[in-house]
Amino acid sequence: MKRTDFTLKPSLIAMLAAATLLTACGDDNDDDTAVVVTPPAPVMQTFAVTVTNLTANQPMSPVILASHASDAMLWNTGEMASEALEKLAEGGDTADIAALSVIESSINGTGLLMPGMSETLTLTLDEADVASISLATMLVNTNDAFTGINSYTIAGMEVDATTAMKIMAYDAGTEANSEAKGTMPGPADGGEGFNASRDDVDFVHIHPGVISMYDGLADSVLGASHRFDNPVLAVTIMRTE
Amino acid sequence: MKHTLVTASLMAAGLFSLPTFAADIEVSVTNLTHGNHFTPLLIAAHDADSHLFQVGTQASAALQKMAEGGDIADLDAAVTGNAGVTSANPAMGLLAAGANVSDVMLDTGDNTHLSIVAMVLPTNDAFMGVDGWEIPTEAGTYTMYVNAYDAGTEANDEIINGGGMSGVPGIPAAPSGDGGVNGTGVMDNSDNSNIHTHPGVLGDMDPAGGMSDLDSRVHRWLNPVAKVVVTVK
């Protein structure tokens, strides 16, 4: 019985407090004057991001272009890759990156970005949300090579302003670069994409390049044309409106 | 007359140069390679005319010592002897792949340019290098990506034999113990004895023989090999 009393008391206090709050609210409403506020029309900014695959024979998985706050990073060199980045780097899957809580909005390329080809992605953002963008894509004839831009600030870009950059290939460090049959999802192999096990150095770094079967890696299914050197991707960012 | 003129020009130079003087900078270096170490780093602030190295020219004896054996003492002495300031070996030893050294503070004094070098190990004479980067006068954070150069002083035979002294062929060591033995040696037919962009190492998959004592799956790299972030206070 005593125990029940003890549990009742706090809840009674809570109910009384709630009643007091409600009363207070009611008083406030009586004093309010009806004001119709028209929210200002959102001012939009549009950015055209053009990517070009600079490799000889490394198709790139459909690009993800994402906008986010300036302190968000998709990866940090020398540190472990997130699982979302691992899925992108090993299998070209962008769903987990798009679902990251730090990502405000994202769009995808229409398909594989083939060697030598370009694609323009258009991102329209509310002016209030314009901060930084990131972009990522896998080099599909590799175990876990990827490239992209990592938290580039677009705030303050004028209309018609253009920024061009050339970017290197990174190694997610999550899958050994065996180049072996069945381990790479691209057309050179048709093998496995993401695998949750991590059997490499487990930090993001600059990719050392592929060796290929013609340069001493006995089990490699890759040939000379699958090798690459930096830079592997050209990116142009233009604010169009 | 002459005395007056000299004094006047010195004063003028002092006035115009004042805004660029006495920057406090903070430097961080990240090793971006897959499986190579950096030997002790030398981070040096110096005047516009000084260089630790210049591509397309012959390496100094001091640079050769660094590139072949990781010894930065002579380069450090050359900089400090010429009114430069340095941070020698801020990582307190080797900087492993993926590792970084940060918060390296340098009061640059009157020095306007920044250079950074360290040997890439295991190699014969590869080094990562920043040559005379003009330190911005505007406060802010500046990021640069750094390439690996070949000192041009030693053939890239890829034999690990303890050879770290200048002029002694071979590679001093593979710090992670991932090198091989009994390689027959890579034939380096390069005639370029000036400092140049390193062609990279070959390596092989045979730890007990083959051409190279390096492992092609571990020790290869593509540029850039390092990320340097400089914060100007």
CATH of the domain at A53: 2.60.40.2130
> Whole-prediction pTM value?
0.85
Question: What is the predicted pLDDT for the residue at B159?
Answer: 97
Most distant CA pair in chain B, distance: 76
Residue A235 has pLDDT above 50, yes or no: yes
For residue A206, give the nearest of B99, B216, B222 by CB distance. Answer: B222
Host domain of residue A110: 44-239
| pLDDT, mean of residues A203-214 | 97
Which residue did the predictor score with more confidence, B20 or B163? B163
SS3 A128: helix
Interface contact A77, partner B, CB < 8 A: yes
Q: Report the distance separating Cα B233 and Cα B230, nearest Å.
A: 9
- Residue A115 has what pLDDT? 97
Q: How far is CA A25 from CA A17, A19, A20, A29, A30, in A?
A: 12, 10, 9, 6, 9
**Selected residues 85-124 of chain A with any CB under 8 Å from a CB in chain B:** none
Whether chain B has a CB inside 8 Å of the CB on A1: the answer is no
Note the pLDDT of residue A41: 82
pLDDT reported for residue A37: 79
The answer to whether position A90 is within a domain reads yes
Burial label, B196 (beta-carbon count in 10 A; 0-12, 13-18, 19+): middle
What is d(CA A206, CA B222) in angstroms, rounded to the nearest whole number? 7
Closest CA to A60 of A124, A172, A145, A173: A145
Q: Residue A177 and residue B217: Cβ atoms within 8 Å?
A: yes
pLDDT category at A10 given cuts 50, 70, 90 is very low
- CA nearest to B99 within chain A: A78
pLDDT for B205: 94
Nearest CA among B155, B166, B221, B220 for reference residue B192: B155
Type of residue numbered B199: P
CA-nearest residue to B35 within chain A is: A201
Q: Is A180 on the interface with B (CB under 8 A)?
A: no
For B199, which residue in chain A has the nearest alpha carbon? A229
Do B224 and A169 count as a contact with CB atoms less than 8 A apart?
A: no
A3 occurs within a structural domain: no
Burial class (CB within 10 angstroms; exposed 0-12, middle 13-18, buried 19+) of B128: buried
Residue A32 in domain: no
In this predicted model, what pLDDT tens digit does every residue of B124-142 receive, in sequence order?
999 999 999 999 999 999 9
pLDDT reported for residue A69: 97
**Considering only CB atoms, which chain A residues are within 8 Å of B184?**
none
The ipTM estimated for the assembled molecules is: 0.86
Pairing of the two strands A145-153 and A103-108: unpaired
In degrees, rounded to 5, the angle at the alpha carbon of residue A168 between the alpha carbons of residues A166 and A171 is: 155
Q: Is residue A129 part of a domain?
A: yes
CA–CA gap between residue B88 and residue B78 (Å, rounded): 12
Q: What is the pLDDT of residue B6?
A: 40
The Cα of A80 is separated from the nearest Cα of chain B by a number of Å equal to 10
CA-to-CA separations, A158 to A26, A104, A165, B222, in angstroms, rounded? 49, 22, 18, 35
CB pairs A-B closer than 8 Å: 69
How many Å apart are CA B130 and CA A77, to the nearest integer? 19
A205 vs B98, B145, B200: nearest CB:
B98
Whether residue A29 is predicted with pLDDT greater than 60 in this model: the reply is: no
Residue A232 predicted with pLDDT over 90: yes
DSSP letters spanning A35-102: ----PPPPPEEEEEEEEEE--SS--BPPPEEEEE-TT--S--TTSPPPHHHHHHHHH---HHHHT-TT
Give residue for tokens 């057309």: A187
Say whether pLDDT at B189 is over 60: yes
pLDDT, average across residues B168-193? 95
Token pair, residue B160, equals: 């690990």
A66 within a domain of the structure (yes/no): yes
Give the Cα-Cα-Cα angle A90, A91, A96 (nearest 5 degrees).
Answer: 100
pLDDT band at A8 (very low <50, low <70, confident <90, very high): very low
Rounded CA separation B125/A136 (Å): 35
pLDDT tops 90 at residue A38 = no
Q: Flag the least confident range among A24-38, B121-135, B192-206.
A: A24-38
3-state secondary structure of B34: coil
A37: left (phi over 0), alpha (psi -120 to 50) or beta: beta
Q: Do B158 and B214 contact (CB within 8 A), yes or no?
A: yes
**What is the count of structural domains for chain A?**
1
Structural domains in chain B, sorted by start: 20-232 (2.60.40.2130)
Q: What's residue A33's pLDDT?
A: 63
Q: Inter-chain contact B222–A173, Cβ cutoff 8 Å?
A: no
Tell the burial category of B5 from Cβ atoms under 10 Å away from its Cβ (0-12, 13-18, 19+): exposed
- List, for residues B83-108, the tens digit of each pLDDT value: 999 999 999 999 999 999 999 999 99
Give CA–CA dist A98/A88, Å, rounded. 11
**How does pLDDT run across B15-43, given as a tens digit for each residue?**
444 444 568 999 999 999 999 999 999 99
Q: Is A211 on the interface with B (CB under 8 A)?
A: yes
Confidence of residue A48 (pLDDT cuts 50, 70, 90): very high
Task: Indicate whether A31 pLDDT > 70.
Answer: no
Residues of B in contact with A168 (CB under 8 A): 145, 222-224
What are the phi and psi torsion angles at A168 (to 5°)?
A: -90, 170
Kindly state the average pLDDT of the residues A69-98.
98
- Nearest-CB residue to B34 (from A208, A217, A218): A208
Phi first, then psi: give them for residue A153, nearest 5 degrees.
-80, 125
Query: Residue A163: is its pLDDT beyond 80?
Result: yes
Mean pLDDT of chain B: 92
